[in-house]
Structure 1
Amino acid sequence: MTARKTEKGYLTKSRYAYMTLREGIITRRYRPGSPMIITNLSKSLGVSETPVRDAIKMLISEGFVVSNDHVGAKVASPSLEDLKNMFEMLLSLQGIATRMAVYQDPAGLLEELEEILEKTKLYIHEQRHEEYGILNDRFHDSIESRCRNLELVSTINSYREKTGWVRSLFVLNPKRLEESFDEHVEIFGALKERKARAAEKILKKHLLISFNGYLDFLKKEKGYEGKEYEIDGSRWI
């Protein structure tokens, strides 16, 4: 199969279609519940229908897309309960990974995080919401990768990718950029001082605030009814 050149190097057309569609779902370019019509996607991606079919099969296997005989393939639209279940898993697992990272050699990590924080300042100033979302992922990925537990990191990434809510939050609520940045600075400070429990608590509070913001959006967009998470004195922290 002919390869296609991208920013990430040469990819097969199936891989290119898969990565492009997956990224579009995560960033809400393809909204939950929207149909994945192969002929339309083929034209927009500039590839034949076969790679698109292959991509959709992979996305179905990962839970990003659902399909049935009557309505065809469409972007998965998880229920509020599903989202909360996945978020609570992320909250617990990311907290553990952040705490574990403190006990490793922090020197290289701190340099990497400082560089990310400097870039995020620029993105906030320029209101580059999607790019900030990508850097947000990098900030947390950098910390979690230092926990030296590959199974834990893999599980976190799986849950994060299936939700996609974190990155989309910065597009839906641009005001969240500066708040998130300040919270990242707090997390960085706890890591620098090697305060494991403090780093975990700040991280969890950061995630709770973010998810509450997303819940607020869902209430307005879809009429979801659900209680927001308590922050101060939360049983999750």
Structure 2
Amino acid sequence: MHSVTLNVLRDHVVHPPDHETARPISRQALHLAVMDRLRKMMTEGTLPPGAHLNERALCEQLGVSRTPLREALKMLAVERLIELLPNRGARVVTLSAADIADAFELLSGLEALAGELACERITQAEVDDIETLHCAMSACHANGNLSDYFDFNQRIHDRINAAARNPALTQMYQSVNQRLQALRFRSNLHAGKWEQAVDEHVAMLRALHARDGAALGRLLRGHLMAKCATVLAHRLAVA
């Protein structure tokens, strides 16, 4: 797992470092590996909203030919993460403020429902697994490692969703969540907001242990809407 280490001071803004992307991708399931790498680059801001995707540069950077790259771009377009422009290549999608608010509102409801159902259906082994991920995530926070923190964070949210045992809910959650990955990542770049998110995860884990679905649902909804508020406030500040 590639790590990005950030030196974090409480109540200071943390700027994302440059993302190292020189490692060649293995040839197994090549277009899927390219998709994963491009998603991570978009999430961590190496490919920001509105960025034009230069095929030649990306092929050199990722160590692949144009065929798997173009297959990956087509699939990312289906996920609405990029736009394919006739005779002009592709660019990363830019979400409007209304798009962001609508998507977070929907995702918060999906995660709240997943939390309620998970408390009814989760096994103790799954709770133990989530607690292990939480400990690893907390260690990344203590070390200022936002990249690995975010990976563990998303695995926790995915585990809660999977424990709901509702494939239709999971499918919708994955579709909406994918569009918000970069914004969720960047909502932690301010150390105070990152600290708040960690505290919220502690409360979520407590509710999960207690199998308190109503409490976990409220916490998840509030957690997502707090991120939405952070994202929109930052957008307004830099406008």
Q: Give the TM-score of the pair, scaled to structure 2.
A: 0.83
Counterpart code for 1:168:
R
Q: Which amino acid aligns with 2:69?
A: V
Q: Residue 220 of structure 1 corresponds to which residue in structure 2?
A: 237
**Match for residue 65 of structure 2?**
48
1:99-110 equivalence runs, <5 A = 99-110=116-127
Shift in Å, 1:56: 1.3
Q: What is the alpha-carbon distance in structure 1 between the residues aligned to residue 220 and residue 78 of structure 2?
A: 31
Q: CA deviation at 1:169?
A: 2.3
Partner SS, residue 191 of structure 2: coil
For structure 1, the 5+ residue unaligned runs are 224-237
d(CA) in 1 for partners of 2:208, 2:31: 41
Q: 2:16 matched to which residue of 1?
A: none
User: How big is the shift at 1:69?
Assistant: 2.8
Contact 1:33 1:77 in 2 (8 A): yes
Shift of the 115–39 alpha-carbon distance from structure 1 to 2, 3 Å rule, reads same
Partner of 2:43: 26
Q: Distance in 1 between matches of 2:138 and 2:43?
A: 23
Q: CA deviation at 1:200?
A: 0.8
Closer, same or farther: CA 11–218 of 1 in aligned 2, 3 Å: farther
User: Which residue, 187, 199, 217 being the options, matches 1:200?
Assistant: 217
Q: What secondary structure is seen at the aligned counterpart in 1 of 2:117?
A: helix
Instruction: Flag the 1:95–1:47 CA change in 2: closer, same or farther, 3 A.
Output: same
Counterpart of 2:170 in structure 1 is 153
Letter in 2 for 1:126: N
From 123, 135, 142, the equivalent of 1:118 is 135
* Residues 15/139 of structure 1: CA separation in 2 closer, same or farther (3 Å cut): closer
What residue in structure 2 maps to residue 229 of structure 1?
none
Q: Percent identity?
A: 25
The 2-side partners of 1:160 and 1:105 are apart by: 21
| 1:173 Cα deviation after fit | 2.1
Q: Secondary structure at the match of 1:98?
A: helix
Once residues 12 and 112 of structure 1 are traced to their aligned partners in structure 2, the CA distance between those partners, rounded to angstroms, is 28
* Change in CA separation of 1:121 and 1:68 when aligned onto 2, cut-off 3 Å: closer
Root-mean-square deviation (Å): 1.8
Matches of 1:200 and 1:131, distance apart in 2: 25
Tell me if structure 2 keeps the 8 A contact 1:4–1:12.
Answer: no
* Helix, strand or coil at the partner of 2:90: strand
Q: Measured at CA, do residues 217 and 182 of structure 1 come closer, stay the same or move farther in structure 2, by a change above 3 Å?
A: same
2:184 alignment counterpart: 166
In the alignment, structure 1 residue 57 sits paired with structure 2 residue 74: yes
Which residue number in structure 2 is paired with residue 88 of structure 1? 105
C-alpha distance in 2, partners of 1:16/1:141?
20
1:131-168 per-residue CA deviation (whole Å, 9 max, x = no partner) reads 11111111111111111001101110111011212123
Could you tell me how far apart the structure 1 residues matched to 2:81 and 2:104 are?
Answer: 16
CA spacing shift, 1:67–1:105, aligned 2, 3 Å:
closer
Asked whether the 8 Å contact 2:83–2:91 carries over to 1, the reply is yes
- Equivalent residue for 1:72? 89
Instruction: State whether residues 138 and 149 of structure 2, in contact with CA within 8 Å, keep that contact through their aligned partners in structure 1.
Output: no
TM-score of the two chains, using structure 1 as the length reference: 0.84
Give secondary structure in 2 for the equivalent of 1:155.
helix
